[in-house]
Structures are given as structure tokens and as C-alpha cells.
Amino acid sequence: MTLFQSPIPYVEPRDDFTIPQFVFSETFEHPTKSADVGKFPCMIEEETGRKVYLSELQYRTDALARAFNALWNIRDGDIVSLYIPNHVDYPTLTWATHKLGGIVAALSASLTSDELAYQLTVARPSLLVAHVENLPAAIEAANAVKLPHSRIIVLDGHKSPKKLPLKTVEDLVNDKTLPPYVEYRFTKPGQAREKIAFLCFSSGTTGKPKAVAISHYNVISDLIQFATLAGQGTNYAPPEQRRFRPGDVASGAVSQKHPLFSYNCGLIFTKDIYGLVVNLHAIFYVSMTVVVSAKFNYERFLQSIDTYGITHLLIVPPQALLLVKHPATKKYKLSTLRVIVAAAAPVSAELTTQLVEAFPKLHIGQGYGMTETTSAVTVYPITQKVGTLGSAGQLVPGITAKVVKPDGSLAGVGEPGELLLKGPQIALGYYHNEQATNETFIDGWLKTGDEVLFAENGDMFVTDRIKELIKVKGNQVAPSELEGHLLDHPDVADVAVIGIPDDFAGEAPLAYVVLKPAVAAEVAKTPALAEEVKARLQKTLTKTLHKHVSATKSKYKWLTGGVIFIEAIPKSPSGKILRRVLRDQSKALRAQAQKPSAKL
């Protein structure tokens, strides 16, 4: 049997600790634990520059836990939904819930009221924390699911110009009349493995989002695995040469479309497991600081790198695109940067090459993970300054992988197939969804739905989502391969490839292309001739793009389905392409084209 594992020894953590005990307790011991925890700021507010230390987080966590317990009787198994953007109180609201034995449902702050109502229906929370800016949508969703307004708490409500009839987070923190509470602790070994800490909704690229149930042990294990692979607690190199050092500063950005490129930029805490586990908990665990930005602005993001001495960019592919494509990048020094890690969606070899060309002195690589794996499964190793081009990195210690071919047999080195995983960070399943759980979590193994292959040195390459592979004349075409190639074209800012029905080939690759701003501006600069200019440019570029692919790719990989220019590629907050949206658009266009013309 061919199984893949990291050769690095893994020391399992205790399984009788809650996450806040793990964060705050001095009695939690592990070889990877930094001796400098608490010495440096945990967070810096980007807007104000205010530094937040672990002691302040603990004070506010305790105050909120007392309030949750006294005013709403939050206890073991109760759910608190967080419908808030990046904020320095995200961890305090989270840990306050955990200290009472509750479960945090981490929801994206960008959800519409209808989307929020659906996720509230799944979670059925006892409390909903909403930011003052999305309070109207929160109230509308609460009304839809019959959640009383008295169970809505407002973050930054004290900044509202008018008095709110709801409790605010500041009200709770500053309430000196609240009685003490009994802190929730696991009393028996193994409880951390069973108790749900988070409900994190999957991205919903293939249907309605499902709530993934993640245990306390899942999160703690993933942090230990990440730190182990990063060499924490070892003397693998002199301190000044290590990838993660106490006092380093990481970036934090939220989900928001950039106005110039219309990219969906990545997020740090809210909803996304990558941000929630790596950018938040892992940064604290290795005694680093994270700069928290409530709203993403690319130039301010660059300015913050210089202002706060940011050393690490833990980002998603759309942000990597901005770094190499946006003209503002060259306006800033960015001299403190040492490391760029991209994750949450595949990063092509072409994009990695562009990053290396733009930042030749930096350590650059990527990682791979899923909500169902509590974030990291692979990360590029500390033995590589630049991760192998196109590789998602190498397995973190403590997890076992196998690759299953379409015929059910196990693949060996260099052979593609579906990735299945087993390890301590694999989630418990889908909350109140037995059918989906049984289809994905089978006999202790997680079916990822991703097609991968492993190289001899342990590098894992994600070739594509199995359900998204395009079948052309019986041949499998990976959209990500064509996307990476098209992204290297000088006129292209972003791209997504889907398969469309074809009578002869079965399916044909169709590319949706976002033009670079300067090229797009050329199309529209002469209003009177806009349509003519656009048609001429589209004809020229379509031919160019076809040639760009056909010159280097097998014939069945050519863009026989065509090229469509689009203002923005639809993506999830974590940067995954929403191909179902593009397939629906393509289907509607084909249906429109097939309608008989009206007779004059």
C-alpha cells in the first residue's frame, strides 16, 4: 500500500485542553511552544496603529464570557454566530464563547441577509454578534429565522452616531455588575477531540454551503503541525535565518473586491479557516504580530508593510495577483518583507514565477488545505527558499495521505488520483448533515475531491478539482493548467476556464478573461466607436490568446470553446473560482444564442 507521510517526527498535543486554555495557559507544554508568548503585541490595528497584547485579549475575553453567561446563559453546546469583519475583538468573542463550552459559527461579514438567514437556519445560534455596519442585514436575517433582537450584540456599536436599542460589545466589557462564572474545562482525556469549537461553512462552489464541525483538538493539532513543519522549537538555523521569528509581523486583509482589478482579496479571521487558524491562532502561537485591517485597500495594504515593518504576507492568490500586476506595487519600498505564503486556492507555476521575479530576495511558496482539514495539510518546507514551482508544498507532520486512481487502486509516486487524508486535524463532519458526512468522511478518511500527485521528494501537486476536470474527446483537461498559462499573457489580469458542451468533443474549454486596466481602457476610450473598437480588439486578442495556448499545449487543450471578456472573475472570499456561476452564465448565453430571431 502506497501511503504518503512527512518524515518529520510529530509530537501529539494534549487532548484535554480547550482552545482558550491552549492560548492562555502557562501549563500547556509542547516542544513547539514559543517561550516568548505574550512578550510582543498579538495584533496592531491598521487604522490607528494601536497595539493589542495578550493580557488585554485575556481581560476582554473574561469580561465577555461573564456577560454571555450572566445575560444569555451561554453554556456547553450553545452556538454564538459571528457576523463581523476583521476586528481585534474577533478572538475575544471567540474565546469567550469557548470558555463557556459554546460553539462559534464563523460567518462571512459579506453575506447578504438571505445568505445569512440560510446559515443561521443551519446553526440555530443562541446569540448573533453583528458589526454596526451590517446590522440592518443581521436584523432582517434574524427576523427571518425568528431570532429575538434581544439576542443580537453589536460590535463597534458605541461608534454609532445614534443610540442603539441593542447591547454593544463595549457595554458588556465595561459592565462591572456582572457576576463571576465557572470557567469551562475538559475533565477527561479525549474531550477535546469530541467537542465542537467552530462551525465553518464551506465555500459552496458546488452547491449551498455546509457547516463543517471543527473540534478544539482539530485546531490545536493543526497549529502544532504547522509549527513543527516550520521548525519551531528546533535549532535548524541561526535565529536570524529562521522563517518565523518572535516579533515578526504578518499582514491581515479582509474579503473585499479591489476597485481597479475587481479581485476578491483574501481574508484573515472571518469565516475562512485559513485566516482563522493560521493568520490568527498560529501567529499568536509563534509569538508574532498580525496587522488587522477592517477594510481592504491595496495601496493602504502596501503602505502598512512599510509603516509597520511587515515581514510576512500570508495571503490568497488574488492578492498575489495584485502584487505582480498592480502598478502601485512599485511605489513602495516593501523592504521589510521576508516571506510570502499563498494558500486557500491553487497558485500556478506561472504566478509563482512572477512573484519570484518581482521579489527575488524573499522566501516564497504556497500551502494547501480545506475547511474540512482545519486549514494546513501541506506547506512549502523550510529547506526550500522558493517552493517547487506549481507545488502546494509538502505534508505537515502527523497526517497520512493516499492517492486513489479512478479504478480504485492506489497511485504511486508521480501518478495522479484523488487525494484522501487521515490525521488529527480532520474535521468531525458536517453539522446536522449525515448524508454529506457519510459521502465525504469514509472509514476515517477524508475524500478531498482534489486530484493530486506526489513527487519523489514529497512535493504535492494539485492538478485540479475532480468534478471540474474538462473531458475533451476522452482526455482530461485541468482548468488550472490553462489558467496558469493564460495568466502569463501580458494583456490578462485574471482568468477562469470552464468546460462547455460540444457535440463533437463532448466538452470544449472556454476561457473567461479579465483584461488589464490599460487594455480595458483602450476598448472604452472612444465612446462613439466603443463597440467597433471592442469588436476589433476582441477579435485580435481572441486570436492572440488562442495562439498563446495552442503554441504550447496539446490540441485537445486548445480554447475551442472560445474566449469571453468579463469585468471580474466570480470568486469565493478565500479566492476559489466559482465555476458554477460561470457555467450558469455560459448556459444562459448559449440559450440566448439559440433563440430564433424575431421576424421583421
So where are the chain's domains?
Answer: 12-365, 469-594
Sheet strands side by side (includes 429-430): 167-168, 152-155, 127-131, 79-83, 103-106, 196-201, 211-215, 429-430
The pLDDT of residue 542 is 66
Could you tell me which of 322, 343, 285, 265 has the C-alpha nearest to residue 86?
265
The pLDDT of residue 351 is 86
Could you tell me which of 261, 243, 401, 212 has the C-alpha nearest to residue 312?
243
Q: Residue 417, exposed/middle/buried by CB under 10 A (0-12, 13-18, 19+)?
A: buried
| C-alpha cell belonging to residue 160 | 454609532
For residues 265 and 313, the answer to whether their CB atoms sit within 8 Å is no
CA distances, 163 to each of 159, 166, 174, 268 (Å): 9, 9, 17, 30
User: Which amino acid is present at 520?
Assistant: A
Q: Alpha helix locations (H) across 240-295?
A: 273, 283-285
How far from the centroid of its chain's Cα atoms is residue 208's Cα?
A: 17
- What is the sign, positive or negative, of the torsion defined by CA atoms of 130, 131, 132, 137? negative
Could you tell me which of 104, 578, 575, 107 has the C-alpha nearest to residue 367?
575
| Full 3-state SS string of 385-440 | CECCCCCCCEECCCCEEEEECCCCCECCCCCCEEEEEECCCCCCEECCCHHHHHHH
For the chain, the helix, strand and coil percentages under 3-state DSSP, each to the nearest 5: 35, 25, 40
Backbone angles phi, psi at 383, to 5 degrees: -80, -10
How far apart are the C-alpha atoms of 560 and 119, rounded to whole Å? 39
Could you tell me which of 106, 110, 91 has the C-alpha nearest to residue 573?
110
| C-alpha cell belonging to residue 414 | 508521480
Place of cell 494583456: 491
First CA to last CA distance, the chain? 70
Radius of gyration, alpha carbons of the chain: 24
DSSP bridge partners of 496: 512
Judged by DSSP in three states, 76 sits in coil
In what helix (H) or strand (E) does residue 152 lie, and over which residues does it extend?
strand 152-155
How far apart are the C-alpha atoms of 398 and 196, rounded to whole Å? 21
Q: What is the pTM of this model?
A: 0.81
- What is the sign, positive or negative, of the torsion defined by CA atoms of 458, 463, 464, 469? negative
| C-alpha cell belonging to residue 157 | 456599536
How far apart are the C-alpha atoms of 572 and 345, rounded to whole Å? 10
Fold of 12-365: Rossmann fold (3.40.50)
Superfamily holding 469-594:
ANL, C-terminal domain (3.30.300.30)
**265 HSE (CA, 13 A, CB side):** 25
- What is the sign, positive or negative, of the torsion defined by CA atoms of 209, 210, 211, 217? negative
Q: Alpha helix locations (H) across 459-574?
A: 479-487, 517-524, 530-550
Give Cβ neighbours of residue 59 (< 8 Å, ≥ 6 apart): none
For residues 258 and 313, the answer to whether their CB atoms sit within 8 Å is no
Give Cβ neighbours of residue 295 (< 8 Å, ≥ 6 apart): 85, 254, 256
Q: Tell me the pLDDT of the chain (600 aa) as tens digits.
A: 689 999 999 999 999 999 999 888 877 889 998 888 889 999 999 999 999 999 999 999 999 999 999 999 999 999 999 999 989 999 999 999 999 999 999 998 888 898 899 999 999 999 999 999 999 999 999 999 999 999 999 999 998 888 889 999 999 999 999 998 778 888 899 999 999 999 998 754 445 789 999 999 999 999 999 899 989 989 999 988 899 999 999 997 643 333 333 333 334 444 467 778 888 899 999 999 999 988 778 899 999 999 999 999 988 777 888 899 899 999 999 999 999 998 866 777 888 999 999 999 999 999 998 889 998 899 999 999 999 998 999 999 999 999 999 899 999 999 999 999 999 999 999 999 999 999 999 999 999 988 899 999 999 998 877 777 787 765 667 787 788 878 888 888 899 999 888 766 768 889 898 888 887 777 667 655 455 544 554 565 567 667 777 776 667 778 888 888 888 999 876 677 888 889 888 888 888 776 654 443
How many other CB atoms are found less than 10 A from the CB of residue 310?
24
DSSP state of 13: P
| C-alpha cell belonging to residue 225 | 503541525
How far apart are the C-alpha atoms of 458 and 391, rounded to whole Å? 10
